Structures are given as C-alpha cells and as structure tokens.
C-alpha cells in the first residue's frame, strides 16, 4: 500500500486509460481519468496485404483498429512494447514479438530478423504517428509501408477541468503527443508543483522546457516500471 495517497492524472486514451486507472487504484492512489487525446477512426481505411510478410504495431490503438477492419491473424507481428504485444495476442495474433523499447528499437529488432521474412512490413497506425517506423526500417534496408487507420487529436479541456487537473500530484504520460498536449495545457495553467512521469525519454521530450516539480521516465518502457515512479520521493 502507498505511503501517501496521491491524486494521479491518467492522460492516455481509452480503453487503455481504464486499465491504467485500475492499476493505480490497486496501489492505493486516486486515479483521475481525463485523456488528453482522442482516437478517431478513419472511414473505410485501405488495408492492402499484398506482398506483406509481417505487421508492425507501435500502439495498442493500432492493433485494435487493424483487428476491427481486417481478419488476418497469421502474419508475424512485431510490437513496440509489452502493452502493444499484449493487445496483439488478445486480438488473436499467434506470433508476436515485442521490442520493449521505442520506434528505433522496434526497427532494429525487425531488421535483425529480416532474413526470416518474405515481403514488406506493414505498419498500421495513426495518420500522424509518434515516430517514423517505415522510415527507420528503410534505413535498415527493410521494405515497409504504412496503413492509416485512425487519427489522434488533442482534447480541449474546459477551464474548470484544467484548473482542477493541474492541482493533482502527478500525471502519467504514455506518448509524446500526450506530453505535447500537456505542455499546451500547462502553458496557460502553470503547475510548478506537478510531477510528470512518461513511459520513455522520447515521451518526455515535449516537456523539456515546461517548469514542473519533477520529470522522470523508467529505465524500461513498461507500464509497471512507469507506475513504480509514483511513490518515489512522494
């Protein structure tokens, strides 16, 4: 049980926000769900699997969007991290490998196994992904292309919401875009006593110039490691 009950802002999109909130409450803290981003599906997305030898996902949202529009489950899946890999297995994919890192680590992991693949790597995901996986793969000599399945946009908080949320103990961030959205909120509503914890160094980069009580990310981009930061120095 936590030494001190804290108010933790869950900024990630649904349905992941509910899962994170459940883990935060299990730690003895109050979870406040208020996503900074919203996922909007693309109408009639084009998923062309001709010549594709593997799928690469950089988010659980990408997995869910692909699974909703396509019944293919036999292709090998490369996932950026444990949560994305778990979503892929839950969606019914049989062969799933996790890079447990960032986009570059994912690209390197795929490149190391290119001799085992026949065909291109398809990256289903957002219109504006957090990282250029296709570009990173091409630098490694791996043929890659994208499939745009959804758009991720910032959520506009009301004045009352913003004033309430900047008074929490800590905010959890799962993506660079969420961190960028938080930086925007804090520009008009400064919160020098707020602590921000991100899933990785790349996630925290948009907050580099934002005054905060603390900024931290775990040694491994895993949610369990992220949550461990909450009670450190509390």
Are 73 and 21 contained in the same domain?
A: no
Q: Both 197 and 114 in a single domain? A: no
Residue 41's CB is within 10 A of a number of other CB atoms, namely 14
pLDDT tens track, the chain, 234 positions: 567 899 999 999 888 899 999 999 999 999 999 999 998 999 889 899 999 999 999 989 999 999 999 999 999 999 998 889 999 999 999 999 998 878 888 999 999 998 888 899 999 999 988 778 999 999 999 999 999 999 988 999 999 999 999 899 999 999 888 999 999 999 999 999 999 999 989 899 999 999 999 999 999 888 899 999 999 865
How many domains is the chain built from? 2
Distance from C-alpha of 49 to C-alpha of 118, rounded to nearest angstrom: 12
2 is a domain residue = no
82, 29: one domain = no
What is the DSSP annotation of 64-88?
A: HHHHHH-----SEEEESSHHHHHHH
Residues 64 and 107 in one domain: yes
pTM: 0.80
Question: What's the distance, Cα to Cα, between the start and end of the chain in Å?
Answer: 13
Q: Which of 137, 152, 167 is where one domain is finished?
A: 152
Total Cβ atoms within 10 A of residue 43: 5
Q: CB 39: neighbour CB atoms within 10 A?
A: 20
Last residue of one domain, picked from the residues 124, 152, 180 = 152
> Is residue 143 within a helix (H) or strand (E), and if so which, with residue range?
none
Helix (H, G, I), strand (E, B) or coil at 16: helix
Same domain, 174 and 141: no
- Do 75 and 130 fall into the same domain? yes
Q: Which pLDDT belongs to residue 16?
A: 86
90 domain-assigned: yes
Domain of residue 174: give its range: 7-36+155-228
Picking from 98, 130, 152, the residue at the C-terminal end of a domain is 152
């Amino acid at each position: 049980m936590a030494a001190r009950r804290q108010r933790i802002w869950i900024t990630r999109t649904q349905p992941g926000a509910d899962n994170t909130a459940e883990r935060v409450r299990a730690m003895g803290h109050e979870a406040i769900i208020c996503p900074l981003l919203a996922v909007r599906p693309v109408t009639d997305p084009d998923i062309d699997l001709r010549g594709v030898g593997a799928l690469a996902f950089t988010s659980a949202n990408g997995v869910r969007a692909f699974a909703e529009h396509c019944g293919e489950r036999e292709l090998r899946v490369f996932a950026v991290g444990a949560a994305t890999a778990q979503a892929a297995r839950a969606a019914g994919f049989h062969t799933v490998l996790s890079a447990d890192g960032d986009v570059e680590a994912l690209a390197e992991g795929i490149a190391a196994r290119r001799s085992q693949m026949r065909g291109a790597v398809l990256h289903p995901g957002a219109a504006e992904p957090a990282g250029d996986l296709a570009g990173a793969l091409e630098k490694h000599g791996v043929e890659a292309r994208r499939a745009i399945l959804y758009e991720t946009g910032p959520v506009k908080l009301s004045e009352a919401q913003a004033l309430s949320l900047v008074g929490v103990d800590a905010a959890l961030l799962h993506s660079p875009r969420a961190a960028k959205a938080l930086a925007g909120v804090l520009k008009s509503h400064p919160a020098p006593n707020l602590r921000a914890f991100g899933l990785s160094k790349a996630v925290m980069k948009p907050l580099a110039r934002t005054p905060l009580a603390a900024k931290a990310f775990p040694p491994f981009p895993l949610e369990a490691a992220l949550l461990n930061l909450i009670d450190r120095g509390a």
